[in-house]
Chain A
Amino acid sequence: MSNKYKKSTNRRINIKERIDIKTKIKKLLIISLLLIVILTLTNCGRPFYVPGASMGYFLWQTEDGNYHLYWSNDWDRNASNDNLRKFSGSIRTDGVITIKNLYLWEGEELTKDIENVDIIKVEPSRVEFIAYTTNHDYEDGIDFSIDNETYVEFNLKNNDIYDLGRISLGSFANSPDEEIFIISEDELLYEAKKPFYLKHPFSTFFFKLSYDRVFTNIYLLLMGIIVVELIRVSILLKSKNYKKLIYISYGILFLILIIVNIILLTK
């Protein structure tokens, strides 16, 4: 009899342990998925881009003060001339520029057979460059530092035209407003360190929600009622304090709505 009792108790403990492990695994999976999504979308440190799949300029600064200006072309099988794209521009400052590294640069001194060589002209306060990407060479970049600068001015062209949407400053899709744009000291570092909700795509998403307050209120109210009702039917219905808990749930919902509206009004 006692053996049977022990066995059944052990089985119950085993089942409980298994359920606990399952719940833990589920929680871990959800948290890691959320982290991956947030990290992918916001990407700490440098703008998110995939060489050969993203097209445009990507500019960022690292903690050591170095600047990194990279450009990438998206692969296109049907494009003519091996998808040749010209990235050209200049960097101007009141400080002194030191080139640290030319990333995947196909200069004259490196390869003599190349038709469209990448060219860079370096002066103490000015850098000019012309570089080409193709389906086979889809990324180039310049790593540089500047001493004693108060500003840095960039003039970046994509196939000889300005395409501001394809310039990311510090974080992906944070584009300049003017064709020739100025970066102040540590501006890129500040952009990279911004919390995720102030970066794209969350910043635009929250802006649109705050712009259309009528929609946001109706939407939040509807979703809130659905969630509270789901909790009511699934959990609260079995509770002894059913009525109390219902009032609390709806109270919380309306409190959230009030807080959201205060935030929207103060913005």
Chain B
Amino acid sequence: MTKLLKGILKRIITSEIFEDSKNRVSFYKYLLIGLFLRFLFIPFFFQIDILSSYTRAAGQLFETIPETPAVIQLVMHWLHVFFLKIVVQIIPNLKTILSIPEPHPQWLAFISNNQVFRMLSVIKFPYFIFDLACAFLLLRFTKDARTNLKVFKHWMINPIVIFVTYIFARFDVIPLFITLLALYFAMKDKKYISIFLLVISIVMRFFPVLILPFLIIYLAKNKKDYIIFSLLGISGLLALEIGSRLISGSSALFKLLNSQHFTFLIALKWGMEGLHVSLIPLVIFFTLTIISFFEISNKSFSDLLKYSLIAFLLWFSFGYYHPQYLLWAIPFLIFQFIEKDKIFYYHLLQILIIPFILLYWGQLVTSYLFTPIDSRYFVYFPDIVDIIRKYYTPSKFANIFSSIFSGVSIWIIYEVYKLSKIKSNLVFNTKK
């Protein structure tokens, strides 16, 4: 029995860590700290979006509210239907709450319920599983056990990971895990699996589309590869389009192009005086980044991670984003912390700035997050935006910090770009 357990543990945490007592203790310590931080927030904090995801799932499962989710959310929708089918057995009164048709009364019924802590723990549990899956997958990227442990540590204690997954309670960690899996197989030179997984994650959350060009360039060895991978890359979106036309008779892709998700990326424009023409900075810099990556003669896996990070940071510097999207940069950033300490300190600066940027969304991301603890107290708690308004315009206030965040992000891009010009000290588990 112990032998079997040891075998399983060795498989999960890798033999390099399991067989070295010092590494084993460090791993255990980081895991415990990470778990402690997660459990501290899981039952007590919440943002209304998670309730919307489960309400749509309940509509599907119990035919309560006939609401069809947007096509781009279909995969995540079905995952929530699956989660709900399991969790509703543990908390039957969740079904009653999810069948309340109006969002506001539903929210009030949920936060004031005496079993809200249990409900939150259960509905966030799937995210917790995928979060741990990300952490254990990150343990496998380099050949050096100490480096893997550092990566693991940075993931387990990263405030953005904890905020997005457990306080803000968004599902981004699920498609992020699929993206990481795609990168893992790219590292192992399993080209088709890698592209296929990235396509799945794009269908789940759209934003991994930013790293698709880099993955194709990294994996392709010749023109034929470029054509096949590009076709595979867009196949997921095409499948979605065909499926959407067959099921609902309308286009998914054009809906997507007109949706918020796409607008987030192209919102900032440089207008030209007197002309109906404007340039989109994110597209300009993104194109430059792709060309720059293409021009590297011996592309390493480390370069792929660096350029993918640059793509996400460009988005956060020149595009519009919701707080949960910041999670997408974290796995890529973590590897850079190990190469250069300085980047970690710049990331800390970003973390310090984020609470000020959150002011854009007012009570939804401030006092309302605490409402499960005491609904009456935190619903009526004064809005921090109103307090700031007494002294200064809140939007200007948030914009100043958002711009500082962009400045720090651009500096990180510069540091990462400089790093890409020298040989990486990380030895990845590649087959190349």
Contacts and interface: CB of A to CB of B under 8 A. Distances in A.
A154 interface: no
Contacts of A215: 43, 115, 117-118, 121
Q: Interface on chain A toward B: helix, strand, loop, or mixed SS?
A: helix
Given A215-B118, A233-B25, A200 B387 contact: no
A66 to B, nearest CB: 25
A219 interface: yes
A223 interface: yes
Contact of B380 (A166, A208, A209, A237): A166
- Interface size class on chain B is 20 to 34
B383 A226 contact: no
A234 B25 CA distance: 9
Interface stretch (B27-35, B248-256, B408-416): B27-35
A172 B382 CA distance: 11
Nearest to B26: A233
B114 A212 contact: yes
Interface stretch (A52-60, A101-109, A255-263): A52-60
A107 B32 CA distance: 63
Given A75-B390, A237-B25, A223 B376 contact: no
A265 interface: no
Contacts of A250: none
A30 B378 CA distance: 24
Interface residues of A, number: 38
Interface in B21-56: 25, 28-29, 32-33, 35-36, 39-40, 43
Given A175-B376, A201-B370, A233-B25, A212 B386 contact: no
Contacts of A226: 32, 35-36, 39
Given A75-B390, A173-B380, A226-B35, A201 B374 contact: yes
Contacts of B342: none
Q: Interface on chain B toward A: helix, strand, loop, or mixed SS?
A: helix
Contacts of A49: 382
A230 B374 contact: no
Nearest to A215: B118
Given A201-B374, A230-B32, A75 B389 contact: yes
Listed residue (A52, A173, A207) with the most chain B CB atoms within 10 angstroms of its CB:
A173
B380 A165 contact: yes
Contacts of B383: 53, 74
B373 interface: yes
B379 interface: yes
Interface in B338-371: 370
B321 interface: no
Contacts of B398: none
A4 B43 CA distance: 58
Q: Sorted from nearest, which 9 A-B pairs have the closest CB atoms? A: A201-B374, A53-B386, A53-B382, A204-B374, A201-B377, A173-B377, A211-B114, A215-B118, A54-B382
Given A173-B380, A223-B36, A233-B29, 5 more contacts: A74-B383, A165-B380, A172-B377, A204-B375, A205-B374
19 contacts: A52-B387, A53-B386, A53-B387, A56-B380, A75-B389, A165-B376, A173-B377, A200-B376, A201-B378, A202-B374, A204-B376, A205-B374, A208-B115, A208-B116, A215-B115, A215-B118, A215-B121, A219-B121, A233-B32
